[in-house]
Structure 1
Amino acid sequence: MIDQDIISGKDLANIKKVSTEGEKSQLDAVFELKLTDEEKILELLVKEQSLAVVDLSTMDIAEEIKTVLPSNYVNMNFIAPFKVEDNTLHIAISDSSKLSLMRNLKTITKKEIELHAAKITHISDFIDKLLKEGGETTISSIQQQNKEKIKTFDYEVDENAEVLDEKPEEDIEALENESEVIKFSTAVVAEAIKSGVSDIHIEPYRFSARVRYRLDGMLDEQVHFAKFLYSNYGAVVTRFKIMGKLDIAERRLPQDGAIPFKIDGKVVDLRLSILPTATNERIVMRVLNKDAGDISLEQLHFEEKDLKLLRKAIHGTQGLILVTGPTGSGKTTTLYSILKEVSQPHLNILTAEDPVEYELDGVGQVAIRDDIGYDFGRALRSFLRQDPEIILVGEMRDKETVDIGLKAALTGHLVFSTLHTNDAPSSITRLQNMGTPDYLISAACTLVLAQRLARKSCSECREPDPDITPKVLEDFGFTPEQASRAKVVRGKGCPKCKDSGYKGRMGIYEILNIT
């Protein structure tokens, strides 16, 4: 409207003010301020989009129009479906902002969409008439018209499971609280949380789809979800996008979000990742159990001598302590356990994380935002102006972050961070490869902790393993005395471990103490 001289740049501030204070659209604010009329808006729409003008005031509502779109959707988006011709649905709109609905409308109606321009008052009157004559049309009633789809998800959903802070906005699957897709999505997440799963995978293929849970480091397919998922895959993806407050229309680029989920009175956060593939969008969710941020060092099962070395280092006044290992090896849990131990009222502790997985009392936690240029290096520089005693940097990704971290460790700060290396000694090589001088590494680094997570035999079904003899253990490097005392067990499989023979994981650690 500014480009067409309908309103001036000076008017824009008043429009935004009226829109914000009155909780109304900017177009409604334009009319309230009497800056233009609907005739000019109509002319602008026709000129911009080359749409044909339709007079809705003279039209009757055909029977097929009454059920072509859900009533809530029509009313919420202020659109007027007025004619079905062959496989094309004709819809009248009042302004160009409705063009973003095209993809969603095609998904809902399974028809081609042709847009027309109409006066705002005519659209308003038409919608009122449509709602009055057609009654309430729901997504469920529309779904029944598609007989090829499996419409019901026959699974018991936990009544105490819910998504927090949900804002469905325009999505069609969210217009019905009892939607089968909503039930399905809730069941997938609730079952995963109850089973102690670390990751949820939802994957599309050409002739199938599957849900897999990562439990104790291994992926296990959940076959009871497969049939419904394959028949409703697009709707399920849309549902999870809404739960994660992502753009439901974007199907070309990866997206990341977060889902707060409440089950049995307990809040669990999920980190959502959407990845477009050749067949459809793939979903992975990391389950972040808030209780994991409340684990003490004793619960991590360090050997006594290793725990003494670690405690000596973390209670120092300065130095760099690195935790290394692959993704999913428990580095974050270990670092949070360390912060929990060293946190004191007289200490100022700051962390830079990507993302902030668990909230810690008494710790200033900062989320990294690469999209706006706020990376680890920039966060670390700002931390040094905040008078901290202890700093945690989520990851040493580049030379800049390493240089700042090492210099901070040499100037009276205790710095914790992570590296992706296979073992503790490799961390030194990694720092050297990033251009760090040897003298700086030896002066600043105090300890490197490498770790892995290993599966434990199920406590309910474990039994002695006859295949592991003392001779086999000696071949692996055990002394004869150690091999003779070792008791090796294996799980034979039971309902508790789902016949896998394994239940739970424990840490395996390697400590490099730099003196």
Structure 2
Amino acid sequence: MVKLIEMMLDEKLLTKDAISKLVKMRPPKKISFANLIAEGLVDKNAVEQFLVKKVRQGVVTLAHLEKIDGIDMVTIMQEIAKALNVEYVDLDETEIDMKLFSRVPYKQLIKYHVMPIEESDLNVLIVFADPLDMAAQDAIQRLFPKKPIRIAIAQPKQINQHLQRLEINESIKGLVSDIRKDLNQESNDDEEESPAVLKLIDIILKSAIYMGASDIHIEATEKSCMVRERVDGLLRQGFIFDKDIFNPLASRMKLLSNLDIAEKRKPQDGRFSATINQKEFDFRVSTLPTIYG
């Protein structure tokens, strides 16, 4: 931060008088972009354009930008994308092709801080936390030898969250396999009695609490079972399973909430409590029939 302030002084985008005014305020205010902008001592657009330029020059990283208060991260990311002639992707609003992850070792994703998003007939869209990292681009391109990669940028915080979610997805593959085995082996037992289903629900609840979610949506689509979480008012994709996981998952949730498992045509409401990370949480459950389940 100090170095960036010094650079702005050198480029005459900020004056020493402005900094002096900030320090002399009662009570004195910390020298930061947020305070300089809030007090009208520096133009917000000038700050954002300055930061875009420093990213292009490799002086500032996208991860560094996220630590700066008082700036519009989305606006800056969009401007950086234009300046670098790449795309900006909001990962929370983008449908991700999960099949692509099977072609990239998880360690590589973590090492280079990247995520494959979608594949077309012409190329593969990859988001990078550092769009200037040529070594990362070369390494990822080698994983897709038949098509060129298309470079995009995303907020590093979003990439982190999605990579953490991917790690959780990897850890539950065994559970999904166990659920299928239980479904195939069951005779007189109900599908919701599978212990693997309980473990899967526990992971879903822990993930939602970790993300600070207010709602969890478990729904069947035409081809899958989708788990979404509402965070900061927006529904975000959590987990995607094959559709055969929906019935045992939904049935077990109904059982936990003292709902009628056999009733699939009428809405129902219930509740249950669970201990997550040594804390007690209450969950209200509402079911709503849909075309797929």
Question: What is the TM-score when the length of structure 2 is the normalising length?
Answer: 0.36
Q: Which has the higher helix share?
A: 2
Larger radius of gyration: 1
Question: What is the TM-score when the length of structure 1 is the normalising length?
Answer: 0.21
